[in-house]
Structure 1
Amino acid sequence: MKVLFIGGTGTISTAIVKRLIEEMKWEVWLINRGNRPEAIPEGAHLIKADINDEAAIAEKIKDHKFDVVSDFIAFTVDAVERDYRLFKGKTSQYMFISSASAYHKPAASYIITEGTTLSNPHWEYSRNKIKCEEFLMDKYRTEGFPVTIVRPSHTYDERNVPLGVHGKNGFWQVIKRIMDEKPVIIQGDGTSLWTVTWNADFAVGYTGLMGNPHAIGEAFNITSDETLTWNQIYQTIANVLGKELKAYHVATDFLIACGDKLGFDFEGSLEGDKSVSVVFDNSKLKKIVPDMKTRVPFDRGVRIALDHVLSHPECQVEDPEFDQWCDKVIDVLEKAKF
């Protein structure tokens, strides 16, 4: 099998590419600007180019046909329209990475299936993913364009620690607050349900859809089967660090209002996603990919991630602005008590 990834070096795609090359022995090609050559997996063929330069890409792939094309960096309709023009007639399957945040917030049921309504008034990112899906499914229905849609939720790897509330520089400042035994903000009362998925587990489900005729014209959730509360997520992190968790629960609408001062879109990431309880039904995926299962539960995955982050200083990106913001939010709420 000959496959092409647009991107291919992100959290999700890295695990998929590694599995295809090392375990499945597929021929893997990447369209990538090559700015991070160390991230290009050994054994992958690189087409060094900017995917947004459509004419240049068309020239570079003119002599190629692919069994599967996967785009991990398409976020707008313009991007999937470009892919449609480039790969129509050049692939037997086009796989689009959508997002589970596209599901209605809140949905009528906390159990999310592929039939759950797509609608998210809180997050433009999610609305754009919905528009991408609509365009691609229209091309499938009217022209037979061989699309498969995948909806991941919160996927992580050894370079990332999944959190609910963090600043622009990512997770590290929260980890540092836990290590320093400072109060850590958790949205709401911390009891909403959430799912985090180790990227290598995700890769099993994803590669099982590649080249699978039963996947054409269909959408699939790919997530872990493990459901946790946010309190459990943060407590597990603290346990691995050997620190006491000083959880400070803050109402989501208050965080959204205060997030404006930080220049951070908490409405999208919280009300449009992480503050809403969700449990994903993966039975549709498992019917055609029976190997899909949770091999790395969160208590193991986060230990791997923290071991990596603590031994790699380049992962420890501090965020003093977010740290001060946390202190101010907590101080204001403490002063409001009587």
Structure 2
Amino acid sequence: MTYTSLVTGGAGFIGSHVAADLLRAGHRVVVLDDLSGGTAANVPSGAHFHQGDICDPGVVDALFAEWRFDHVFHLAAYAAEGLSHFIKRYNYTNNVVGSVNLINAAVNAGTVRCFVFTSSIAVYGHAEPPMTEDLIPSPVDPYGIAKYAVEQELKVSHEMFGLPYIIFRPHNVYGERQNIGDRYRNVIGIFMNQILRGEECVIFGDGEQTRAFSHIDDVAPPIARSIENPRAYGQTFNIGGDTPYTVNELAEAVATAMGVEPRVRHVEARHEVVHAFSSHDRAREILGVGTTSVPLTDGLTQMATWAKKHGPQEPSIFSGIEISKNMPPSWQSVVASD
């Protein structure tokens, strides 16, 4: 049987890799993306591309009526965690209302076998790491709040309408096809772009914040394959890298991968979770994944090779800031954010 699967955000970073994995598995893949963060060139060959906005229920409903999807892989989001404080309306519209449009359509279609949602470890907030799925989420920024709201909506939609779901909470994913020109998110891409532009790597605060970094090859394939495992349905999984690094260590590792001496500049600390990395025991037990197969040094080398070919990008400036109070002054120049 050939399944028809929708991948929202499939012209973006993680979404394009998930779409490619689904195509390799024999799915008929439809990509829905508004190209606000991705590019049509990222859409894998063989996928049907529809440019449109998940915030438009007419677009979403028409697509479900046309294709009668078996699976929905929802990866479309604006994932700038730190910036979300200053773009609340945009954050909740895209990350909550857009998600609800998809959930409504999935329920009404009656054909969806599973709705796979990429959430984030941002839902855990200041919880003590390593964060486990059994912790009660307590997000500290609008991005994490939005992700947790959609998780809860999927659970009540399952209880009320029987919509099957799987939730993933990835963290700090990096790799080929990442938008290195986005100055507000994805610290590895930001560092590489700064190096390509001959600039210093800018770090908020003292750089002793810790994160675990996840190469796309350790994240996209398990998401795509999860629908094949009945034990995964109704579950929430942390997924990604196991080993935490400080941002200072990361800057040195990125410089090494790019073949340059590390040059960093520290700026005023911003409001953020200081230590954030998660346990992957549940993914190991149920999905058979969780141990990092791509070490950070290898993943950075792969991405650096791609980034050098891709070339430096002009850092984008978000034009729809809704609140400027307490916004980090350094975001008026080139900055690094995770």
| TM-score normalised by the chain length of structure 2 | 0.76
Pairing partner for 1:137 from 152, 155, 158: 155
* CA positional deviation for 1:76: 3.3
> Alignment partner of 1:69: what SS?
strand
- 2:222 matched to 1:221? no
Percent sequence identity over matched residues?
24
* CA positional deviation for 1:322: 5.7
Pairing partner for 1:301 from 299, 302, 317: 299
CA distance in 1 between partners of 2:33 and 2:180 (Å): 26
Aligned to 2:113: 92
Verify the 8 A CA contact 1:148 1:218 in the aligned structure 2. Answer: yes
The 1:173/1:323 distance shift into structure 2, 3 A limit, reads: farther
- 2:58 matched to 1:44? no
> Alignment partner of 1:237: what SS?
helix
Structure 2: which 5+ runs fail to align?
Answer: 78-93, 318-328
* CA positional deviation for 1:193: 2.4
**Where does 1:73-222 land on structure 2 (aligned, <5 Å)?**
73=76, 75-88=94-107, 89-104=110-125, 106-107=126-127, 109-121=128-140, 123-160=141-178, 174-175=191-192, 178=195, 184-222=201-239
Aligned to 1:25: 26
The superposition leaves residues 113-134 of structure 1 with CA deviations (integer Å, 9 ceiling, x where unpaired) of: 111221123x211111112222
- Of 171-180 and 240-249, more deviation after overlay is shown by 171-180
* CA positional deviation for 1:324: 8.6
- 2:57 matched to 1:54? yes
The superposition leaves residues 136-155 of structure 1 with CA deviations (integer Å, 9 ceiling, x where unpaired) of: 21222333221221111111
Q: Which amino acid aligns with 2:122?
A: S
Aligned to 1:237: 254
CA distance in 1 between partners of 2:151 and 2:67 (Å): 26
- 2:5 matched to 1:3? yes
CA distance in 2 between partners of 1:306 and 1:279 (Å): 24
CA distance in 2 between partners of 1:168 and 1:196 (Å): 13
CA distance in 1 between partners of 2:117 and 2:62 (Å): 23
* CA positional deviation for 1:93: 0.5
Verify the 8 A CA contact 1:136 1:147 in the aligned structure 2. Answer: yes
CA distance in 1 between partners of 2:165 and 2:211 (Å): 28
CA distance in 1 between partners of 2:45 and 2:197 (Å): 39
* CA positional deviation for 1:91: 0.1
* CA positional deviation for 1:221: 0.8
Verify the 8 A CA contact 1:162 1:196 in the aligned structure 2. Answer: no
Q: Which amino acid aligns with 1:255?
A: A
> Alignment partner of 1:210: what SS?
helix
- Of 150-159 and 318-327, more deviation after overlay is shown by 318-327
> Alignment partner of 1:280: what SS?
coil
CA distance in 2 between partners of 1:103 and 1:84 (Å): 23
The superposition leaves residues 238-294 of structure 1 with CA deviations (integer Å, 9 ceiling, x where unpaired) of: 2223333244455xxx333xxxxxxxxxx3xxx1x4xx2133111111222215542
The CA RMSD measured in Å over matched residues stands at 3.4
> Alignment partner of 1:158: what SS?
coil
Q: Which amino acid aligns with 2:45?
A: E
| TM-score normalised by the chain length of structure 1 | 0.76
CA distance in 2 between partners of 1:255 and 1:238 (Å): 22
Structure 1: which 5+ runs fail to align?
Answer: 257-266, 328-338
CA distance in 2 between partners of 1:197 and 1:182 (Å): 25
Q: Which amino acid aligns with 2:294?
A: V
Verify the 8 A CA contact 1:177 1:183 in the aligned structure 2. Answer: yes
CA distance in 1 between partners of 2:152 and 2:199 (Å): 45
The 1:155/1:53 distance shift into structure 2, 3 A limit, reads: same
- Of 278-287 and 289-298, more deviation after overlay is shown by 289-298
The 1:139/1:182 distance shift into structure 2, 3 A limit, reads: closer
The 1:247/1:218 distance shift into structure 2, 3 A limit, reads: same
